[in-house]
Structure 1
Amino acid sequence: MADLLCLGEPLIEFNQLPSGEFLQSYGGDISNTAIAAARQGAKAGILTQLGGDLFADSLRELWRREGVGAEHVLTSQTRETGLYFVTHDDEGHHFTYRRNGSAASRYTPEDLPLEALQTGHIFYASGISLAISRSSCNAVIVGAKALKSAGGKFAFDPNLRTALWPLEQARETIHSVMKLCDIALPGLDDARHLTGIGEPDGIIRFYHNLGASIVALTLGDKGAIVSDGNQQFHISPQKVRALDATGAGDCFNGAFLAGLLRGRAPRDAAVWANAAAALSACGYGAVAPIPNLSQTRHHLRKTGEYHAD
């Protein structure tokens, strides 16, 4: 049984290389997060629906290789698996999606494996899980309540995508759902848009006031801040040669949740997650560069930040 259950939409990724060609890989925030957690030693599982296509077959094979549980993944013979494209320029990376009406967007509360939720420790979803459809949004709410009622925790990344829904609707829905959240994982830019608050301290207070007992605010190339409501720690950025930050936030989330599941304190979990996310930006694509536990440990030893795990 999985300790971490991730609900949302996995995607097939086409990432632009310096040559202009596109490398086919895998993405989707919840899949990236589950894989990052698994590479850090956690038992992670996916809750979603895929199309009856070859892309779906390749995703299932990916999860098998990565040790991510896919026994609760459903198949639709009438809908397709979603795709996205990543292009790069001097301003960063840009996304183009082909996911409207995808199989994952037709996931419903009735599709949830309630027995698995009642034995899991953390249920994870994101703002994208809410945005792709009303039925998926409802599934997140029902899933979070089911796992929490059994003593588990609900972890959530707002992961704002204004291409999927208007800002006002996103703000209202995300913050309503986050009243259920125990572990808030916002990125600074998304949080500023959603809360209207500029300073990290104010953003952290906002999410604690919504109900989160732990807030891990990622700051891009400035590291992260983690708070348990009593103490707050700034995690310094890692010095790496970053090539592509696609999926770095997802990697942070997966590594952070894996750390909590291993019994690490929030600060120590954030140190590991910050290092893993930095290493994931040293290659192209959302999945291939995600480091495993030993690679992250080796990096932390080199930087002098390693603590016994």
Structure 2
Amino acid sequence: MSALDILAIGEPLYELAEAEIGGERVYRPGFGGDISNLAISAARTGARVGIFSHLGDDRFGHAFRDLWDREGIDRSTVRSPKGTKTGLYVISYGEDGHAFSYLRDGSAASRVTPEDLPLDAIGRARLIHVSGISQGISSSAADAVFAAIAHARAHDTLVSYDTNYRPALWPLDRARAVINAAMAGADIARPSLDDARELTGLQTPDEIADFYLGLGCRLVVMTLGRDGVFVATPQERRGIPPRRVDAVDATGAGDCFGGAFLAEWLRHGDPFEAAAYGNAAAALKTLGQGAVATSPKRSEVEAFIADGTLPRRSASTLALRS
């Protein structure tokens, strides 16, 4: 494995998204999982990206390998232990938006242990990215993330951590303890405002930024939903307004933002410009359904930022991109 800009560590999930074709309800296959979504977004933005995870010894695992190969993502550290399965989820759509059902218990990724970590790849990457989901899927996976963070810090590899708090994975008290402890080893805190309110007990973006900077993070990049992004360093804070589009599906938009932000920040080092770039990428991602099919390429994001040009594809075409 050559040196990477970003090594994402966690669980990919195969996607089945509800759709109506010819008056019949069907489930369209696709790809998800926060770290895979982020990796694809970063790769399409031009970063050198790799993934570490375990996939099932099944057709879904093989499909992920093919996807990552098409996207130019290094998967040389990915393993498929014999007899294991890939986790999956189902997206249903209704008047209140989208809902998720998960089938991930005992997945291959949840069985990862600290002994499985690709230490050489972690030490050579510019940045590793992990999340609350990476730790919430099992105790051994949580331990593996702590070990990855410790190894990264010992080798001057940056650490990005997205809270991605999912109540279905673990109780709030445990999630709060684990995530906050992991954040203390991170360089970049990537909470959503809703997650951060749950995990810190604080309410305003400024209070929450103070909390994460106080843990030792050097950069806080907090997504605010419809209100854009709040970026804080020890020296400066700014709200970055959202880009407005006629959204079709927000599934994976936060992951798309994260990947685009990290790739752009690693490219030039300005977190405020990178957040504006990430906002534009996330807006374009919502133009079609699915977690990664509509994740945009750099040329598309740059055209949108320059003059509002949208990709020349219909939402239905976008939905089939992956």
Q: TM-score range by the shorter chain?
A: over 0.9
Q: Give, in angstroms, the shift of residue 75 of structure 1.
A: 0.7
Q: Give, in angstroms, the shift of residue 131 of structure 1.
A: 0.6
Q: Deviations over 1:73-111 (max 9, x none)?
A: 011112100000111223222111000000000111111
Give the aligned residue type for 1:214.
L
Aligned to 1:191: 196
Of the candidates 109, 121, 126, which is equivalent to residue 126 of structure 2? 121
Question: 1:120 & 1:145 partners in 2: Cα distance?
Answer: 14
Aligned-partner SS, 1:22: strand
Q: Give, in angstroms, the shift of residue 295 of structure 1.
A: 0.4
Q: Give, in angstroms, the shift of residue 279 of structure 1.
A: 0.8
Give the aligned residue type for 1:146.
H
Aligned to 2:84: 79
- With normalisation by structure 2, the TM-score equals 0.92
Give the aligned residue type for 1:66.
E
Question: 2:247 & 2:278 partners in 1: Cα distance?
Answer: 16
1:42 aligns with 2:38: no
Aligned to 2:94: 89
1:286 aligns with 2:322: no
Of the candidates 139, 149, 157, which is equivalent to residue 152 of structure 1? 157
Q: Give, in angstroms, the shift of residue 21 of structure 1.
A: 2.4
RMSD of Structure 2 on Structure 1 (CA): 1.2
Aligned to 1:108: 113
Question: How does 1:1-309 map onto structure 2 within 5 Å?
Answer: 1=2, 2-17=4-19, 20-303=25-308
Q: Deviations over 1:147-166 (max 9, x none)?
A: 22111111000101000111
CA contact (8 A) 1:121 1:147 kept: no
Q: State, as a whole percentage, how many aligned pairs show the same letter.
A: 45
Q: Give, in angstroms, the shift of residue 18 of structure 1.
A: 5.2
Q: Give, in angstroms, the shift of residue 300 of structure 1.
A: 0.2
Aligned-partner SS, 1:140: helix
Question: 1:175 & 1:88 partners in 2: Cα distance?
Answer: 33
Give the aligned residue type for 2:53.
T
Aligned-partner SS, 1:287: coil
Aligned-partner SS, 1:37: helix
Aligned to 2:319: none
Give the aligned residue type for 2:161.
F
Question: 2:228 & 2:61 partners in 1: Cα distance?
Answer: 35
Give the aligned residue type for 2:187.
D
Aligned-partner SS, 2:80: strand
User: Unpaired segments of 5 or more residues in structure 1?
Assistant: 305-309
4+ residue runs over 3 A deviation: none
Question: 1:88 & 1:220 partners in 2: Cα distance?
Answer: 19
Give the aligned residue type for 1:64.
D
- With normalisation by structure 1, the TM-score equals 0.96
Q: Give, in angstroms, the shift of residue 39 of structure 1.
A: 0.4
Question: 2:215 & 2:223 partners in 1: Cα distance?
Answer: 18
User: Unpaired segments of 5 or more residues in structure 2?
Assistant: 310-322
Question: 1:135 & 1:205 partners in 2: Cα distance?
Answer: 30
Question: 2:132 & 2:123 partners in 1: Cα distance?
Answer: 23
Q: Give, in angstroms, the shift of residue 134 of structure 1.
A: 1.1
Aligned-partner SS, 1:135: helix
Question: 2:126 & 2:279 partners in 1: Cα distance?
Answer: 22
Question: 1:14 & 1:274 partners in 2: Cα distance?
Answer: 26
